[in-house]
Structure 1
Amino acid sequence: MSTPTTPAAATPTSPPGARTGPVIAVLALGLFMTLLDLTIVNIAIPDLVDSLGSSLDQVLWVLNAYSLLYAVLLITTGRLGDLIGPKAMYLTGMAVFVAASAGSGFARTTAVLIACRALQGVGAAMLAPQTLVFITALLPPDKRAAGFAAIGGTSGLAVLAGPTLGGFIVTHLGWEWIFFVNLPIGLLTMALCVRLVPDVRPGIRHRLDLLGVLLLTAGLFGVVFGLIEGERYDWATITGALTIPEVIAAGVAVLVLFGVREARRQGGEPLLPFEVFRNRNFTLMAGVLAIMGFAMVGLYLPLTIYFQSVLGLSAVAAGLAIAPQPLAMMFSSMLGGALSDRIFGKYLLVPGLVLFGAGSAWVALAAHADSGRLVFVPGLVIAGLGMGWVWVPVFSLATRDLPPRLAGVSSGVLDTVQELGSVLATAVIGALLSSRLASSLHDEAVSRSAGLPDGVRSRFVAGFDQAGSSGLQVGAGSGSGGGTGRLAQLGHDVFAHGFVTAMRPTMLVPVALMALAAFLALAVRRPADVADVAEVVEGRTDAERPMA
């Protein structure tokens, strides 16, 4: 362990909690940019294919390169924020993100674009965990809900703005501008951060566990890569003798080695202090966040495909159809923030999880081959109201009794488990939906082609059997069987009804998991009493206090 030394730094000029409104606004602006970039790129996929001559696999990696690097690095960057200070990490991450956005906009080959998207993921991973660090450092435990509510509202706005803003930009300016739009936002955020955000430095220089970083990164890379690419390789051979299950198993094995190493370093400076998991509420909330990550993808991945492939909506129209959910979430996040400062967060979290599950079940059961968009509004609003009552208390409960020196690593852990839940949902829900789709398409084709001549009928059914093997690449137009008129309409009916039959039980899987999350939330204990909290906050060393 290195010898602690106090860096040359100014004495604090303002107490924790001073000018928190502008600080949270700056953090929310940065979060808005990174979340917007996750949703806005999907709209540009057709233009990317045409402009760069990208294959389907390459386009998928334009999306996945960001997610992969983001998920793999969150714990490490969160811990780095604890060691060198969150402001330095936030500014560095924003600089990397802005530079990578410029590179993405200027890219003229798919390979360069994929590399820049990966670099964007690195920058996003550097800045994302620091938001929680600033909130826990600058606000006392009973005042943090307002900060979490602002972040939740910003998240809803980014989700809402992504498809609509992306559609406008791609239509009128070109796909390059979905990346160039990050430049003014990023530069403004950096300038405001330098001016307004206090330097919450640890005051003690530490040594980073480089071998731990290597093991954690390699292990997470193997697991996340395997889950992302599993469907593409049919969960079998990648190349030669290397298979997807082997990659995932190797990743898990390396993570076990990482855990053993960290267990031996708990008395020194571990990359992952196990102390965070000794806090009951933190561990329970990590489980809730993993389920939320799974549920978000598990519900809205098939729903988005349904809106576009079955109901025939454009990407922008599909985004607007889902808009009641983030709008309701923005409203309830603010209400949840006001209530969380007055009542125990558990009494918001459990109803929020139940409402989210109930609204999602409504949406799943309301989906039919000919449903109108308005039929989903009640379910989307109920789900959105519930989500707003989840995000605020889940972070408040997770961090309330943790010492500030663990804020960065705890944020990294929470972000990582949520991201892993999302990646797992992509793999599990994608595989389940593809499997059920192949079966339902066959059954629908057999049933609805009964009136066709035998030769036409056999070719019609065979066509859907082949289409079913393509899984989620099947679209509404692929069911025409190459014909026109009645045969084309029959093909569309087969696909529409077959997809709905496959989708509905698939969407109920995350609904069931929401019940598990509510059960976990019931086990939350009341946080330490006022005296204990004061002791935790005031018991920080001078070196742990925010510095101007």
Structure 2
Amino acid sequence: MSRNAEPGTGYPPPRQAWLALIPLCTAFFMILLDQTIVAVATPDIMARLDADYNAVIWVTSAFLLAYAVPLLVMGRLGDQLGQKRIFLAGVAVFTVASLLCGLAPSIELLVGARALQGLGASMISPQSLSVITRIFPPERRGPAMGLWGTVAGLATLTGPILGGVIVTALTWHWIFLVNVPVGVLCVVLGLRVIPELPGVSRSFDIPGIVVSLLAMTFLVVGLQQGESAGWAGWVWALLAGGAALVAVFIRLQARASERGVEALVPLGLFRDGDFSRGSFSIAAMGFAVASNALPIMIYLQRFADRSALAAGLMIAPMAVVSGALAPLVGALIGRVQPRVLSMFGFAMMIAGHLLMWLVLDPARSVWWVPAASVVLGFGNGFVWAPNSTTTMLGVRGDAVGAASGVYNTARQVGAVLGSAATAAFIQLREAAGAGVEVLGQVLVMQAVVLALGLVAVSGFSRRPRPPRGAPERAGGA
């Protein structure tokens, strides 16, 4: 039970819980923003640090690798040592790394600082969702998840816009330096308003940790570098090795009790159909949103002769609509089945991708792009919060860290898959003689993956249900 909890509930007072959302959502916004904002600054980084494309690609790859690989471990570590402690440590690491990124005098040091930034992000991401699950009772969790989900959508959408503004007005250094004062404020505020959420003392599953880290490393490196390496034999060897290690990891988790340790990922989580469907659907969402801005930005800058800033502003309606929907969607979660909201969101995402496919055509006015962006904004606004609410609703309090780690890992692996698939699709179609039309076709490919997500969320429970086992409490079972 958290300190200063409301009598008889195990949850902190509502005012404290809502105040705690400020640092939780702000830190989550920063790490998601940094996944997309760098793309706009890449030309400036190359020019000022005299780096070629092969070197500068690692500015993004190092962050994604250090972010995705430890997510499972960091989720469980929050269960063991306390989510507040790991969250604040992650914000501190991320803030220091942002300062190092902004001051980096060479591409090598920038890549190293970005890896440290990714490590901090891996500590923050699962804790933010875990803490929200533990400090809000089910009847107040919908609006809280609505805000958290909107932050996720806004961060992904505003990266290209904010990056264009900063790089145009200043230099690439400031896309990192702006994080420093924000990170410091998050730590100071978090110390004051995030409730103490004690962890549960458990043994560490060392073999499970080692195997999971190796498996994720092999898979993420193989997916990230496959296209640039021409899908050479060593890439396929990495992917095969990663898949084999996943099988070993699952076996280790299934026999954890026999080894006298608690599973890093309790496989019982996947007996909950909503958790399994939610994890799959958020991977599909990550697949699309991590890379759908790329073909749009290429089209607007290369074929419609728009600047980076102008191109970013043309997709601004996505962020505006998604942000405006935040209070509405949060309120609806308590009144409308989250399943219905998620289905509507995925349907709008599919419609937005198909509409953008039709729009990215030199024969049509470029001003149709903002119209298609509005549809995508509706999709983003209606997916994130209902999806996370339904996915986490049946998770017991003592497993929210592990569950959050799995959920965020699914999203991040989906994003890596989406980035790799988008790059491969564009290159293969161009090699086959495709022209500008390939930029719209890649959005159709992403729409197909989103359709799989729609199928998954259509199977969500029709009514919210209490967690399996004992009644849910803020401090765990």
Same fold (TM over 0.5): yes
Question: Does 1:291 pair with 2:284?
Answer: yes
- Map of 2:471 onto structure 1: 536
Structure 1 stretch 99-108 or stretch 89-98: which is displaced more?
99-108
Equivalent in the alignment of 2:251 = 260
Give me the whole-angstrom Cα distance separating, in 1, the residues matched to 2:255 and 2:453.
32
Match of 1:210 in 2: 206
Residue number in structure 2 paired with 1:487: none
RMSD, matched Cα: 2.0
The whole-number CA distance in structure 2 between the counterparts of 1:280 and 1:65 is 34
Offset, 1:429: 2.1
Residues 364, 504 of structure 1: 8 Å contact kept: yes
Structural mapping, 1:56-75, within 5 Å: 56-75=53-72
Match of 1:20 among 17, 34, 41: 17
Q: State the 1:13 CA deviation.
A: 2.1
* Percent identity for Structure 1 against Structure 2: 33
Shift of 1:146: 0.9
Mean alpha-carbon deviation: is it higher for 188-197 or for 142-151? 142-151
2:228 pairs with 201, 224, 232, which one? 232
Cα displacement (A) at 1:207? 2.1
* Aligned partner letter, 2:121: A
Q: Cα 1:373–1:151, aligned 2, differ >3 Å: closer, same or farther?
A: farther
Q: Residue 54 and residue 523 in structure 1: after superposition, are their counterparts in 2 closer, same or farther (change >3 A)? A: same
Q: Secondary structure at the match of 1:128?
A: helix
Measure how far apart 1:20 and its partner are: 1.4
Query: 403, 406, 415: which one pairs with 2:408?
Result: 415
Equivalence map 1:382-393=2 (5 Å): 382-393=375-386
Q: Which of 439, 460, 463 is equivalent to 1:524?
A: 460
Q: Is the 8 A contact 2:78 2:86 kept in 1?
A: yes
Gaps of 5+ in 2: none
Deviation at 1:180, TM superposition (A): 1.4
User: Is 2:436 the partner of 1:499?
Assistant: yes
Give the deviation of 1:369 after TM superposition: 2.2
Structure-1 separation of matches of 2:101 and 2:292: 30
Task: Provide the rounded CA distance (Å) in 2 between the counterparts of 1:127 and 1:409.
Answer: 13
* Distance in 1 of aligned mates of 2:176 and 2:131: 27
CA contact (8 A) 1:401 1:536 kept: no
2:24 maps to a residue whose letter is L
C-alpha spacing 1:371/1:64, structure 2 compared with 1 (3 Å): farther
Counterpart of 1:344, as a letter, is: Q
- 1:153, 1:334 within 8 Å by CA — same for their partners in 2? no
What TM-score results when the alignment is normalised by the length of structure 1?
Answer: 0.82
Q: Specify whether residues 427 and 529 from structure 1 end up closer, same or farther in structure 2 by C-alpha distance, changes over 3 A only.
A: closer
Residues 151-176 of structure 1 deviation map (CA, whole Å, 9 limit, x = unaligned): 23323443454334333333443222
Which residue of structure 2 lines up, in the alignment, with residue 132 of structure 1?
A: 129
Q: Distance in 2 between matches of 1:371 and 1:83?
A: 56
Q: Distance in 2 between matches of 1:169 and 1:11?
A: 41
- Asked whether 1:353 is paired with 2:350, we answer no
CA–CA separation in structure 1 for the residues paired with 2:26 and 2:172: 22
| Residue 42 of structure 1 pairs with residue 39 of structure 2 | yes
The alignment status of 1:201 with 2:178, answered yes or no, reads: no
Contact 1:324–1:381 at 8 Å: present in 2 too? yes
- Within-5 A mapping of 1:110-129: 110-129=107-126
SS in 2 for 1:167: helix
Aligned residue type for 2:71: L
Deviation of 1:533 after TM superposition, in Å, equals 7.7
Instruction: Give, in whole Å, the separation in 2 of the partners of 1:528 and 1:515.
Output: 24
AA in 2 matched with 1:284: R
CA pair 151-183 structure 1, distance change in 2 beyond 3 A = same
Q: How does 1:127-206 map to 2 (within 5 A)?
A: 127-202=124-199, 204-206=200-202
Aligned to 2:82: 85
Secondary structure of 2:472's counterpart equals helix
Cα-to-partner distance string for 1:452-507 (whole Å, 9 max, x where unaligned): xxxxxxxxxxxxxxxxxxxxxxxxxxxxxxxxxxxxxxxxxxxxxx122x233322
Closer, same or farther in 2 for the Cα pair 1:529/1:252, shift >3 Å?
Answer: closer
Equivalent-residue separation in structure 1 for 2:470 and 2:254 (angstroms): 28
Which one has the largest radius of gyration?
1
Counterparts in 2 of 1:519 and 1:270: CA distance versus 1, 3 Å: same
Higher mean C-alpha deviation, range 66-75 or range 32-41: 32-41
Which position in structure 2 is the counterpart of 1:482?
A: none
Quick check: 2:215–2:246 contact (8 Å CA) kept in 1? yes
Q: Is the 8 A contact 1:17 1:140 kept in 2?
A: no
Partner Cα distance (1:529, 1:164) in 2: 40
CA offsets 1:262-303 (integer angstroms, 9 cap, x no match): 111046411111121111100011111111111223533222
Residue 433 (structure 1) aligned with residue 451 (structure 2): no
Do the aligned partners of 2:72 and 2:402 also contact (CA within 8 Å) in 1? yes
**Structure 1 unpaired stretches of 5+:** 1-9, 238-242, 442-497
Partner of 1:98: 95
Q: 1:379 to 1:172 in 2, by over 3 A?
A: closer
In the TM superposition, structure 1's runs of 4+ consecutive aligned residues that sit over 6 Å from their partners are none
Q: Distance in 2 between matches of 1:236 and 1:369?
A: 36
Q: Hey, what's the Cα distance between the residues in 1 that align with 2:162 and 2:458?
A: 39
Residue deviations 1:418-451 (CA, integer Å, cap 9, x gap): 111111112222112211112235xxxxxxxxxx
Question: 1:527 offset after TM fit, Å?
Answer: 4.9
CA distance 1:279–1:46, shift in 2 (3 Å) = same
- CA shift, 1:98, in A, is 1.0
Aligned twin of 1:403: 396
Count of residue correspondences: 469
Which letter does structure 2 place at the counterpart of 1:536? P
What amino acid is aligned across from residue 208 of structure 1 in structure 2? Answer: F
In 1, the alpha carbon distance for the partners of 2:371 and 2:143 equals 27
